Amino acid sequence: MNQPTTSLELVNATRRFGGIVAVNDLSFKVPQGTICGLIGPNGAGKTTVFNLISGFYTPTSGKILFEGEDITGNPPHIVCRKGIARTFQNIRLFSSASSLQNVMVGAHLRQKNPWWFPIVPFLADKEEKMVHDRAHTLLERLGLADVANAPAGSLPYGAQRRLEIARALATNPRFLLLDEPAAGMNPHESSDLMEFIKNIRADFDLTILLIEHDMKVVMGICSHIWVVEYGQCIAEGDADAIRNNPKVIEAYLGEEYLQYA
Amino acid sequence: MNNSAMHRAYTLCAVVLLFAILFYAENNLDTYSIQILNLVAINAILAVSLNLIYGFTGMFSLGHAGFMAIGAYVCTVLILTPEQKESMWILEAIHPWLANLSLPFLLAVVVGGIAASLVGLIIAIPVLRLGGDYLGIATLGFAEIIRVVITNAAPFTNGSLGIKGIPQYANLWCNYGWLVVTVYVIVRLLRSNVGNVFKAIRDDEIAARTMGVNTFYYRVLSFCVGAFFAGVGGALTAALISTIDPKMFTFMLTFNILMIVVAGGLGSITGSIVGSIIITFMLEWLRIVENPISLGDFEIPGIPGMRMVIFSVMLMCIILFRREGLLGMREFSWDALARFVKNPVRFFSRASRSTSGASGK
C-alpha cells in the first residue's frame, strides 16, 4: 500500500451552461496532504471546477468524491460541513463585520447550541467564549490579531486575503480550495504567500488545491499541476513536466511561439 | 469580563430608572400623554422586530401588518369572556371552538405571538427562497391575504364589523415590560454568534453558504422571531385601543413601521427605539398643522392629511441627506456614553468617522 490516499477525486465531471461546455469530462485525483495547482488561460473553466466541488453548481454528469464519499450535488453548506472550505477570486468578506466576527461566522459551523440558548442568561456563555477564543487564536496565528476589531472592509488588500483564509480555516476543513490567492500581489508579497500556504498546510494538516496565474507561485509550491483549457485537461504532471509541455505553451502563448520554445 | 459585568449592572439600573419614570408618568400625566407613551412602546416593539428581519438579516419584508393582525385577533378572541363574545358576534354566531375559550391576558399575548410566528413559518418556506424586491412584493401580498381572510372568516373574527370593547389590559407597565423583553431577546441573539450569522447573510449570502451556514434555515429563523414580536405588538395594540377591525391592518401600518426603521437606521436597535420615540411624538405634535392657524390677520385653513405631507418630506430628506438613518449601524453602548461624557466634541467628530462597536444592553 504505497499508493498515497486520495483526498478529492473528480470522475468525468461535466458542466454545461446551455450550449457552452464549461467543464468537459474532467477527471483528476488530489492525493492527501499535498498542494496541487489548477492552471489554464482565462475562461478555461477553473473557477467552474471550484464551484462544482464546493456545491454551487451540480455537475451535468460525472461524480465528485471526497475521501471516498460521493458529494455530488450536495449544497454548499453541507460540502463545507464535510470538510471542504474555499476562498474566492474576488474577495467576499462580510465587510461591515469586524475581522473577529468574520472568523466567528466560520467557526459557527462547529457550534452545537440550539439558536435560543443565547437568550437564556449564562447558558450560551461557555460556547460563545470558546468560539470567540478560537477565532482569536486563528487571527493570531495568521498575524491579524491587531486588526481583530477593525471592520473587514477597511483592511489592506493582503490582510483581506489572509482573513478570508482565516475564516475558511475556522470551519475546521481538511481540504482547502484557494481561488487565485496571489492575485494583485507584488513579487515580494507573493513569495511570502508561498511560505504562508506551505505553513498552513503543515500546521492544519490540509490538502490544498489552488487556482493561480502567478507561475512562480504555482511552480514553487505545487507538487502536481493540471492544465485546463476549454474545460478539458490538456496536461498534468509536476512543475518541470508542465513547463516543457508543448501543449501548455501553445495554450498560453499561441501556436506560433512553439518554434521558439 | 469585569467590565461587562459592570455594564450589565448599568443596564439593569437603566431599566429600573425607566420603570421609575413610568411610575411617575402614570401618576402625573393626563390620559392623552400616557396614550402617546404607550404608542411609543408598541411602535418600538414593532420597529425592533422589523429591523431584525430587514436591517440585520437583509430580508425586505412588507408583511408586518399581517403578523400584527394575527397577533391582535388571536389575543382578542382569547381574552374576551364568553358573554362578550356571544353579544358581539352579530353577523354570524361565533364558532363553537372559540365560544368558551378564555385565557389570562399575558398568556393570550404569547399565544398571539406564537400564532403570528407559525403563520410566518408557513409563508417563509415558499417565500424566503426569493430575495430582494421580490420578497417585498410576496410578503406584501401575504399581508393582504391575511386581511381578506380575516374579513371573511366571520365566525372567528366577526368579519368586517371588527371587535369593539376589548378590555384595556395593555397599560404602561405591560407595554414597556414587553418592550424590555423584545429588546433583551433580540439584542442577546444579535450579540451572540447567531447574530453574526444573520449579519453575514445580509452582507454576502454566497460567502455565508460557503462558510457552512444553512442560510435558508437562518433566514426562516430570523423571520419567525420577527413575526413573533410583530404578533405581540399587534396583540398589545388591540388591548390598548380596545377596538380592532380588518381595515386597521393595511399597508399604511407597515409603512409607518418601515419609516421608523429606516429613519432610525437599518441595522441599529438603538436607532429603531430613538426613531419610534421621535416619529410617534411627531405624528401627534404635527396635528397642529391640520388645524386652522391664524398669523395676525392672515388665516391658514386646516388641511386634513397635512402632517403626512410634512412627514413624507422629512422622510425624503433623511433618504437624501442621511441615507443610513439617524444612527446608521451604530448602537448605544456604555463605553460610548462614557466617551461622550468625557469629551462631547471629540465624541461626535470620532463617531462620524468610525462605527463604534456594540457593547451596551
Q: What is the pTM of this model?
A: 0.90
A155 touches chain B (CB under 8 A): no
- CB–CB contact B197 A131 (8 Å): no
pLDDT in tens, B233-259: 999 999 999 999 999 999 989 988 998
Residue A83: closest C-alpha in chain B = B212
Interface test with A, best of B114, B196, B205, B225 (most A CBs within 10 A): B196
What pLDDT is stored for residue B314 in this prediction?
83
Q: What is the pLDDT of residue B20?
A: 93
What is the structure's pLDDT at B234?
97
- Cβ A171–B355 below 8 Å, yes or no? no
Residues of chain B positioned with their CB less than 8 A from the CB of A94: 199-200, 203-204, 207-208
Which of A49 and B360 is assigned the larger pLDDT? A49
- Name the band, by pLDDT with cuts 50, 70 and 90, for residue B302: confident
Q: Which residues of B touch A105 (CB under 8 A)?
A: 193, 196-197, 200, 208, 211, 213
Q: Hey, is the C-beta of A174 within 8 angstroms of any chain B C-beta? A: no
Name which of B191, B193, B214 is nearest A131 (Cβ-Cβ): B193
Return the percentage of chain B with pLDDT > 70, whole number. Answer: 96
Please, where in chain A does CATH 3.40.50.300 lie? 1-83+173-261
Judged by a CB distance cut-off of 8 A, whether residue A89 touches chain B is no
- Closest alpha carbon within chain A to B207: A92
A193-222 residue pLDDT tens = 999 999 999 999 999 999 998 888 999 999
B121-164 tens-digit pLDDT? 999 998 888 777 899 999 999 999 999 999 999 888 888 889 99
Residue B359's pLDDT is 36
Q: Which residues of A touch B213 (CB under 8 A)?
A: 77, 105, 108-109
User: Which among A107, A118, A170 is the nearest to B194, CB-wise?
Assistant: A118
Res. A224: pLDDT tops 90? yes
**Superfamily per CATH, domain A1-83+173-261:** P-loop containing nucleotide triphosphate hydrolases (3.40.50.300)
Is the CB of B212 less than 8 angstroms away from the CB of A77? yes
> B140 with B65: CB under 8 angstroms?
no
Residue A190 per-residue DSSP state: H
Q: Is the pLDDT of residue A34 over 90?
A: yes
Note the pLDDT tens digit of each residue in B42-90.
999 999 999 999 999 999 999 999 999 999 999 999 999 888 888 888 7
pLDDT of residue A1: 45
Q: Which residue of A has its CA nearest to B329?
A: A96
Judging contacts by C-beta atoms under 8 Å, the chain A residues touching residue B267 are 96
Q: List the single residue in A81, A96, A128 with the smallest CB-CB distance to B329.
A: A96
What pLDDT is recorded for position B123?
92
The predicted-structure confidence for B286-296, as pLDDT tens digits, reads as follows 888 777 777 77
